[in-house]
Structure 1
Amino acid sequence: MRPVPDPGDSRVKAYRKQAREGALPPVLLWWVSGLDCHVILDGHARLAAAIAESVELPLLHLNRSVPRDDLDVRIDDAVGSYERELARFAALRAVHGPAVPDGATIAGPQLARRLHGLDTAAQLTWAWPLPGGQAQWRRVAREVTLRQDWPRS
C-alpha cells in the first residue's frame, strides 16, 4: 500500500486535465475483508487528480465471488429452505384454515434475497502467513519501501 501522490505531482497534473474533460480511466479497487475496506490496486494518481478537481471518479471494484462449484449446492440449499417453509405454512393452513397465508409472500422475498446474495455478495478474502514470521515481514516491507521513490513524510 502506497500513499496517494500530492496534487503537484506530474502524473496527477496530467490526470487533472483528463478529470476536467471527464475522461479519467477507472481506479481499480479490491475489497479486503480482513481490513474491512477497499485497497487501491491501481490508480493512486487518478484518485488524487479526481480529488483535486472535485469530480466523481470511475471505479472498478474487485471482490471474491462464490466459487462455481459451491454455487449449485448453495442454490439447492436456498430452494430447499423455501420449499420447507411453504410446506410448514401448508401444514399450518391445514390445521387452522384459510386465515393462515400460503407462505409465498413471506418465503418468496427471503428466497429472492438469498439468491441475489449468492450472485452479488462479496466473499471473505484469504491470507497466508509469510514464512519467517514478523522479522521476514519487516525485511520485505523495508526492501519494498527502499526501492520505491514514494514521498516520505
Structure 2
Amino acid sequence: MNRGYRELLGPGRLVLNIRGCPGPPTLRFETAEQGLLLRQGERPLLLGRTQDKGCCKDLAMHRLDGFRSPLPHLRSDAMREGTDWTHQYARWLEETADGPLHDGRWHITRRASFAPGIWTEDFVRDWPGGSLELYCGGGWHGVLPLRSLSPPDAPRVKAYRKHARDGTLAPVLLWWVTFLDGWLILDGHDRAMAALAEGAEPVCVELKPVADEERWRATADEITTAHGQHMARLDSCAPHPNLMHQRAALERGYADVIASLPYDTAHTASWALPGGAAAWDDLAARAMFQFPRD
C-alpha cells in the first residue's frame, strides 16, 4: 500500500488519507441479504445473521479461528521505549497486507477512557458463538475479540500485566464498525486481558473511517448557507437586550459544527459477498458442522 497523506491533529491523533487502494481490502466485511461475513483474504472469520425483532435487531454470530493481526508482534523492550503508538500503528497499518484500510480518510486516535459497561458486560468473552443485541437508538456499543481470549494466568498475559502495572503496556488496536455500533480488536487481545486483570480499562488506539473531503465540504457549504439565512433573519428582528447573546450562541454553535465535520464518523464499508445468500448459507453450514453446539 502507498503511504497515505497524514493530517496531524496533535498528540495521539491523526487522519490518514489513503489513495490508490479502492478495495476490497484483505480484512473486509461482505454482506448477502441478512447475512454478514468478516473475511481476511479468503479465510472467513465471522459469520453473522440479523434477526428482526420489530424495529430492533440482534446479530447471531459465529467466529472462526485464523485471524492474523495487522500489526507485528510487540517486543517487551519496544514497549519501554516511549513510542508514539498512534503514529507507529498508522505506519504498520499502511504496510500490512492483512488490514482493513482502503481509499478514504481514517481517524487514528489514542483513547484511554470509555463509557461504563464497554469493557465489562459489553465485552464479548464467549468464543466462538454469541449474540449482539443491536438495540433501537442505543446500539450494542461493545468490544468484540477476533480470537479466543487467554486466561489471566497465561504466560504472555502475565508478562503484559507487569507492563500494565508499570504504565508501559502498548495500546490495544480497535476498529470501530458502524453497523455493529462497536469495536473489533485488531491487535492486543492479550494486552487487553492484562489490563483488565490489573483492574484497569485498556488504553487503546481507535481506527475509524471519517468523511472524505468532498463530502464534508459539501455539508459545510449547506450548513454555512443555512447559518447565513438564520443570521439574516435574526438581524432583521427589532433590537432587544438578548440579541447579542443570541448571535454569539449561534456563531459558537456554527463554529463547533464546522470544526467537527472533517472528523465525523463515516459508514464502515462492506462489499457484496460473491455467490450471495447461497454462499453465506454454505459457509454457515460448514461452520456449524465443525461446531454443532453453537
Q: Quick check: 1:11–1:45 contact (8 Å CA) kept in 2?
A: yes
Q: 1:55 to 1:106 in 2, by over 3 A?
A: closer
**CA offsets per residue over residues 78-136 of structure 1, 9 Å max, x none?**
22221111111122x1xxx2127265234213312321331332222122232233225
CA 87–46 in structure 1, closer or farther in 2 if over 3 Å, else same: same
Q: Which has the higher strand share?
A: 2
Structure 2 unaligned spans of 5+: 1-145
Which amino acid in 1 is paired with 2:248? T
- The residue number in structure 2 matching 1:125 is 268
2:281 paired residue number: 135
Q: CA deviation at 1:3?
A: 2.8
Q: Aligned with 1:113: secondary structure? A: helix
Q: Aligned letter for 2:215?
A: D
Structure 1: gaps spanning 5 or more residues: 147-152
**Mapped pair 1:32 → 2:173:** no
* Identity value in percent: 33
Q: Return the alpha-carbon distance in structure 1 between the equivalents of residues 224 and 256 of structure 2.
A: 12
Per the alignment, residue 222 of structure 2 pairs with 77
Report the counterpart of residue 9 of structure 1 in structure 2: 154
Structure 1 equivalent of residue 83 of structure 2: none
Contact 2:213 2:262 in 1 (8 A): no
Q: State the superposition RMSD in angstroms.
A: 2.6
TM normalised by structure 2 equals: 0.43
Counterpart position of 1:150: none
CA contact (8 A) 1:130 1:136 kept: no
Work out whether 1:98 is the aligned partner of 2:243.
no
Q: Which runs of 4+ in 1 moved over 4 A?
A: 139-142
Higher relative contact order (CA 8 A, sep 6+): 1
* Structure-2 change in CA distance of 1:30 and 1:115 (3 Å): same
| Rg (Cα) greater in structure | 1
SS at 2:151 equivalent: coil
Amino acid in the other structure paired with 2:184: V
